[in-house]
Amino acid sequence: MEENKKEIQENLAPESTDMDMSNFSEDDEDSLVLSWLKKFGILVFEVVKVVLISLAIILPIRLFLVQPFYVEGASMEPNFYQNEYLIIDELSYRFNEKQRGEVIIFKNPKNTRAYFIKRIIGLPGEAVSIDEGRVYIDGEILEEAYIENFSSDKHEAITLEENEYFLMGDNRSNSLDSRQIGPVNESYVIGRVWVRGWPINRVNTFNVPIYENISQ
């Protein structure tokens, strides 16, 4: 009887290997931690690599090729309105001359922390004057189809120096431009307006206006 009872107890008892904690040594725990840390390190490395590659691509484009600009104020109405989102081309002027009629972004020479959007009207070496709101280049009237309402102001002729430009807003009655701040040196020019990206219904690119009787 005792032998049968002993045999039953032995059969019911779990095998010793099922509860043997000796298999989980400190070395195994260290290996698991090291494996986890290695995987985490690889993940961090991949993330950092992607970020650095992205910055290497995006930053040069942002700093030297194009940058965004939001229109502030009404000086360029009705062609550009408040809060319109523009993409500025900073590359073209490194290889090409600025042209009359191009809309550009530049720093205000009187306050370089302020950025203006205006149109190139007078080119280096030209004499620019204004009479009854109409612009004259070297004595010839400048036909400006993009202007809806001309002002009635008058401005004595001024001859532009080398690398100087006479810049004006399209809203001639409400624009702080070369009539007040004087000619702008090209060193203050950031770039030309390339694309209007917002609002959606006004998305487009911009071509240089054609002037019939005056060269670009």
Catalytic residue among 98, 118, 129, 175: 118
Q: Name the DSSP letter for residue 193.
A: E
Q: Give CA–CA dist 103/94, Å, rounded.
A: 16
Residue 182: phi, psi to the nearest 5?
85, 180
Q: What is the pLDDT of residue 30?
A: 65
Of the listed 75, 129, 175, 178, which one is catalytic?
A: 75
What is the rounded CA–CA span in Å between residue 124 and residue 163? 6
> Going residue by residue through the chain (216 aa), what tens digit of pLDDT does each one get?
555 544 544 554 444 444 454 554 555 666 777 777 777 777 776 776 565 554 454 555 455 455 788 899 999 999 999 999 998 998 888 888 999 999 999 999 989 999 999 999 999 999 999 999 999 999 999 999 999 988 889 999 999 999 999 999 999 999 999 999 999 999 999 999 999 988 999 999 988 998 987 876
Q: What pLDDT was estimated at residue 37? A: 76
Question: How do 103-108 and 204-205 pair as beta strands?
Answer: unpaired
Q: Is 83 left (phi over 0), alpha (psi -120 to 50) or beta?
A: left
* Residue 110 appears among annotated catalytic residues: no
Q: What pLDDT was estimated at residue 126?
A: 96
Other beta carbons within 10 angstroms of residue 104's beta carbon come to: 23
75 tagged catalytic: yes
What pLDDT is attached to residue 11? 52
Please report how many Cα atoms fall inside a 13 Å half-sphere around the Cα of residue 136, on the Cβ side.
Answer: 14
d(CA 193, CA 103): 6
CB 83 within 8 A of CB 40: no
